[in-house]
Amino acid sequence: MLIFIIAFTQWVIMKVFDRNMKRITCAFLILIPGVGFEEAGAIDLNGIAGGGNYYVVGKSYAERRFSTVYRQQFDFSCGSAALASLLTFHYDDQVTEQAVFIDMFQHGNQPKIQKEGFSMLDMKMYLERRGYRSDGFKINLDQLLISGSPAITIINDNGYLHFVIIKGVTEERVLVGDPAVGVKIVGREHFEKMWDNRILFMIHDQRDLGTNRLNNEREWVSRMAPLGEAVDRASLSDFNVLHRPGPWDF
């Protein structure tokens, strides 16, 4: 089996890459048992292709998962990490999780934040200070797909309420930017079960930029369309990771 795998790897390398090329993509290492990427670095594949030394420079699994979403630094900072990720990777507005965290805390209801965490209203006020218009919308995933814009929402993952970014949607899958574990693909039915609040927090100006950055050209593409009915300003303060709104909150 190992001989077959190595032979197949040689064939792919010779077919796809020039013999004089000294660097190959790390994807082929998956075909070779015992070669992994728990840590980033370069690996010497001396002679396996019969054409000299080949070097692979790869990112670790963790680095690839967090290539378009910031890893949250604290258990309670998923909101600031999600918002910083949305701005940085979808709106070309470079900002760190720490900067967002400090700003929202300084301008927010600090006793409430310390008790309940950041809310969508904290995010909205932060974005207003930065020149964006944003709101929470009661829309479904199909409407989000039509809108063509990424969104932040709260999911309930086995009792753990958590801010994430919805980076893409298909009929069967949802691409999620999770500040705790990185970018992941979740079955749509499973996501719907975790997404019990049905609120999507979205930037609704500069939508051309947001749509162009949706899925980073390698993921699904959505079309532009009007948004659903906006959630009122007062209700946004109810949406945080420590409080689930009741049926009469709207």
Q: How far apart are CA 94 and CA 72, in angstroms?
A: 16
Q: How far apart are CA 151 and CA 176, in angstroms?
A: 10
Give pLDDT tens digits for 105-158.
999 999 999 888 899 999 999 999 999 999 999 999 998 888 888 999 999 988
Shared domain for 53 and 94, answered yes or no, is: no
Shared domain for 125 and 181, answered yes or no, is: yes
Per-residue model confidence (pLDDT) at position 239: 55
Shared domain for 52 and 169, answered yes or no, is: no
**Residue of 41, 23, 38, 31 whose CA lies nearest to 7:** 31
**Looking at this protein, which amino acid is placed at residue 86?**
L
Shared domain for 19 and 60, answered yes or no, is: yes
Summarize the confidence of residues 185-213 as an average pLDDT. Answer: 83
- In a domain? residue 249: no
Per-residue model confidence (pLDDT) at position 67: 84
Shared domain for 38 and 76, answered yes or no, is: no
- In a domain? residue 218: yes
- CA dihedral 185→189→191→193, nearest 10 degrees, is -160
Summarize the confidence of residues 166-190 as an average pLDDT. Answer: 91
Per-residue model confidence (pLDDT) at position 102: 97
- Domain of 56? 2-64
Q: How far apart are CA 150 and CA 130, in angstroms?
A: 18
Per-residue model confidence (pLDDT) at position 192: 94
Q: How far apart are CA 180 and CA 165, in angstroms?
A: 11
- In a domain? residue 128: yes
Q: How far apart are CA 161 and CA 222, in angstroms?
A: 27
Per-residue model confidence (pLDDT) at position 247: 35
State if pTM tops 0.75.
Answer: no
Shared domain for 225 and 141, answered yes or no, is: yes
Per-residue model confidence (pLDDT) at position 30: 32
Give pLDDT tens digits for 6-61.
444 444 444 444 444 333 333 333 333 443 434 455 444 454 445 555 444 455 65
- In a domain? residue 222: yes
How many domains does one find in the chain? 2
Q: How far apart are CA 125 and CA 129, in angstroms?
A: 6
Shared domain for 147 and 58, answered yes or no, is: no
Per-residue model confidence (pLDDT) at position 8: 45
Shared domain for 42 and 108, answered yes or no, is: no
Give pLDDT tens digits for 68-116.
899 999 878 999 999 999 999 999 899 999 999 999 999 999 999 988 8
| Domain end call among 29, 46, 64 | 64
